[in-house]
Amino acid sequence: MKLISSMLLVFLGVLIFGSLAISQEVNAPLPAKQQQDCAKNASCPFNAPPSSLSTAEIDLAQVLAMNTGSEQGGTSAVPVQNGAQANQASGGAVPKLSLHDAEQLAIKNHPRITIAQLSALASKEVARQVRSAYFPTISFNSTGVTTYHDGNRITAGALNNPSVFDRAGAGLVASQLITDFGRTSNLNSAANLHAQAQQQNALATREQIVFAVDQAFYDALSTDVLVKVADQTVQSRQVLVNQVDALEKAKLRSALDLSFASVSLAQAQLLLVNAKSNRDAAYATLTEALGLPNQQPFELVDVAAPQPLSGTIDEVIQQALANRPDVKALQLEQGSAEHLMTAEERLQLPDISALGTTGVTPVASERLGTNAYGAIGVNIHIPVFNGFLFSARAAEAKDQARAAAERVRDLRDSVVREVRVAYLNVNSAFERENVAAKLLGQATLSLNLAQARYNLGLSSIVELSQAQLQQTEAEISTVTAKYQYEMAVSALAFQVGQ
């Protein structure tokens, strides 16, 4: 009995020492490189808990309240209200919303970002579940048995026929994995890499939402300015109609001139209706991108044109392949699949475990002897045949690892194409903006000359109407080109992963 007690104490000491060593290993902090990568990105889902979606409108109100009545340096407010503001009965200071504030609101409130963060946290818990195989398993049992007579034998349900005695006892049972020849370590590595991949997916989702906010913000700014252009066009053409109408009543102009002027006015009014409709749609898209349940009244603050990325197209492509979180996520998933493949291959190897039990039996049959018991041992499990299950699982894991490698290659090819197209779009948008500015200057000059000739009676209303139409189209082209360039620069930054 003393020998058994000594052996149990030694076994429990080994379990405790092994648990402490493993705990220090698996709970060690992330490597320095991963800590730096996570620290550089404020949106890392392991730096802060996900926010509550119910505070979206409160957050917007706080941001707008801070911006009300104050001008930010280097920016100018667009004094055009959206559809929700136009319906307000009473006037007042309308709060301003800058691009930076819009991005921060979306990061904090958009449900897709919260979903991605929660998925990353859940994957981290899965890694903890896999690491539990390193620790010992200890359970407590309490059993009471009464029989027809001492020495009963159970003769059905198993090959052996154990004896059963009257007893009541309690004890502990412990087991500890000694080695499974690397299967558990590979499963742990696969789970950790999958958790890191989910973290990168969360970062990719954040960048997608920020990009969507940028595009919606620039689109809404564009529609604001186009509404101003359309409104000014209506006013100028209304002035012309009034002028021609007065001249027609004085028999200085014909009814045909009045008819042409009225047609031009109707076209401008139709342009204004379409511009307002497009503005309402743009603000609805912006509201959804911000993660807000309802559209709020605000004025967008125009921003300076973003600076394009420096470097050649090949350098920009290399930056994208190195920086984009979706590429990093698939690379981590590939590593996870490779570790899982190795773990599945090692299913066919033995595993060795230590077992131990100890307890007391205060009430027992005399034939059971002493009221204390204990035992320790080692078990070696060797798989022999299971219908080719393990070989099939290994083959499946190998195919999945190859598929993961092909997904990485496919994404890299897509990134190269997307970055190249975005780079070319920036150059085209820049040239289009310059051409549109020149076109507007020429159209304005042409309109001034046509107006002067018409006032002197040297040209017809057709020439003036054509000049007005060209000038309006040039203004629209200039506004569109300006914001398309800003959207193109934003799209290139998104494709590069900045």
Between the alpha carbon of residue 238 and those of residues 243, 463, 464, 472, the distances in Å are 9, 17, 14, 14
User: How does residue 106 score in pLDDT terms, banded at 50, 70 and 90?
Assistant: very high
Pairing between β-strand 152-153 and β-strand 299-302 as defined by DSSP bridges? unpaired
Mean pLDDT, to the nearest integer, of 468-477? 90
In what side-by-side order are the strands of the sheet with 137-145?
A: 137-145, 167-179, 351-364, 372-381
* Confidence (pTM): 0.76
Between the alpha carbon of residue 39 and those of residues 30, 31, 43, 187, 458, the distances in Å are 12, 12, 9, 27, 72
pLDDT, position 34: 47
User: How does residue 158 score in pLDDT terms, banded at 50, 70 and 90?
Assistant: confident
pLDDT, position 77: 35
pLDDT > 90? residue 157: no
Least confident of 76-85, 127-136, 149-158, 401-410: 76-85
Q: Which CATH class is domain 2-85+93-496?
A: mainly alpha
| Structure tokens belonging to residue 437 | 């500015």
Please give the full DSSP string across 448-460, using - where no structure is assigned. HHHHHHHHTTSS-
Tens of pLDDT, residue by residue over 351-408, are 999 999 999 988 887 777 778 889 999 999 999 999 999 999 999 999 999 999 999 9
Tens of pLDDT, residue by residue over 396-418, are 999 999 999 999 999 999 999 99
pLDDT, position 59: 52
pLDDT > 80? residue 133: yes
User: How does residue 3 score in pLDDT terms, banded at 50, 70 and 90?
Assistant: very low
pLDDT, position 273: 95
pLDDT, position 86: 42
pLDDT, position 60: 52
Beta bridge partners of 360: 170, 372
Contact yes or no for 410/331 (Cβ under 8 A): no
pLDDT, position 491: 92
Which percentage of the chain shows pLDDT scores above 70?
81
What angle is formed at CA 485 by the lines to CA 484 and CA 488, rounded to 5 degrees?
A: 85
How close are the terminal C-alpha atoms of the chain, in Å? Answer: 70
Contact yes or no for 176/18 (Cβ under 8 A): yes
**Measured between alpha carbons, how far is 291 from 294 in angstroms, rounded to an integer?**
9
pLDDT > 90? residue 9: no
User: How does residue 349 score in pLDDT terms, banded at 50, 70 and 90?
Assistant: very high
| Secondary structure class of 116 (helix, strand, coil) | helix
**Measured between alpha carbons, how far is 412 from 327 in angstroms, rounded to an integer?**
7
pLDDT > 70? residue 182: yes
Tens of pLDDT, residue by residue over 254-301, are 888 888 889 989 999 999 999 999 999 999 999 999 888 888 777 888
The 10 Å Cβ neighbour count of residue 87 is 9
More confident call, 426 vs 253? 426
pLDDT > 90? residue 18: no
pLDDT, position 365: 77
pLDDT, position 35: 47
Tens of pLDDT, residue by residue over 56-101, are 445 555 545 444 444 433 333 333 344 444 444 344 577 788 899 9
